[in-house]
Amino acid sequence: MNGTTPVLSLKNIHKAFGGVVAIQDFSLDLKAGEIVALVGDNGAGKSTLIKIISGVHKPTSGEIRLDGEETAFSDASSARERGIEVVYQDLALAVEQPVYMNMFLGRELTKKPFGLLDKVSMRKECQELVDELDVRIPSASSTIRDLSGGQRQGIAIARSAHWASKLILLDEPTAALGVAETAKVEELVASLKKKNLAILIISDSLDQVFRLSDRICVLRRGQQIGVRKTSETDKNEIVSMITGVDS
């Protein structure tokens, strides 16, 4: 493997649900340290694509390569084991649990010899992580229920940053947030680049897409319309690619 091998490479991905073609002939390479935005109207196939990459759906045909190696995920946990994490808009956290337990949900640290939960270590690691990423919460022991939407999404992203070794997929991570909370989450997403992860983000805010992304990929009714460097395009072009109407 060399520095130019993409972290993720999708080739000719198709996905049909019965008679509905959700994704048609989709190809994209993602590099480490790059943020690519995936945009398109409702039903364009964006979430389906993220579910294919994260092992939730199997593509009908096509090729997925991770670090150059052809890969087929049997389910979401096998994608997680390979370093792929997903953040959804609906804040998939256990609200009655403290922050540190959420950080380690399904991957709890335990103590030898009895396998008891190692809460001290989890709390400490969690606190270090939220401090490092500047996610401002009262403490790692706070219950999720007592946090704001922005703080919760901060935790979800910090968790993905902790476990992802290659790729983070974000499906409208700020859709449920207010303006200030969105700004904080955008800062957090931008900081993930420094961890040399590849990032694919779905957003319906073009302002956000232009603030965050290095490249923009447009989908319309399952078809890949095109990919642009963010610095070489503008909102007018992207809108007409999304809608199919020249502006």
Ligand X SMILES: Nc1ncnc2c1ncn2[C@@H]1O[C@H](COP(=O)(O)OP(=O)(O)OP(=O)(O)O)[C@@H](O)[C@H]1O
CA 14/CA 11 separation, integer angstroms: 9
How many beta carbons lie within 10 A of that of residue 229, not counting itself?
10
Least gap, CB of 222 to ligand X (angstroms) = 7
Q: Does the protein bind ligand X through residue 43 (CB under 6 A)?
A: yes
133 or 199: CB nearest ligand X: 199
Residues in region 35-64 near Mg ion by CB under 5 A: 47
Q: Segment contacting ligand X (CB under 6 A): 6-14, 35-43, 120-128, 225-233?
A: 35-43
Show the binding pattern over residues 13-32: x = contacts ligand X (CB under 6 A), - = does not.
Answer: ----x--x-x----------
Q: Rounded to whole angstroms, how far apart are CA atoms 98 and 194? A: 28
Give the CA angle between residues 94, 100, 102 to the nearest 5°. Answer: 25
Query: Are the C-beta atoms of residues 167 and 8 closer than 8 Å to each other?
Result: yes
**Phi and psi torsions of 99, nearest 5°:** -55, -45
Q: Which two tokens stand for residue 107?
A: 């991957």
42 counts as binding ligand X under rule CB under 6 A = yes
Enter the tokens of residue 242: 């999304």
Residue 33: φ, ψ to 5°: 80, 15
44 binds ligand X (CB under 6 A): yes
Q: What residue 22 binds from ligand X, Mg ion, none (CB within 5 to 8 A, per partner kind)?
A: ligand X
| Region near ligand X per CB under 6 A, out of 4-12, 46-54, 180-188, 238-246 | 46-54
- Taken as a whole, the chain contains a residue count of 247
- The residue count for binding ligand X (CB under 6 A) is 11
- The reply on whether position 153 binds Mg ion by CB under 5 A is no
Shortest reach from residue 116's CB to ligand X, in Å: 40
Tokens in use for 156? 């979800």
The residues binding Mg ion (CB under 5 A) are 47
Which chain residues interact with ligand X by CB under 6 A?
17, 20, 22, 40, 42-48
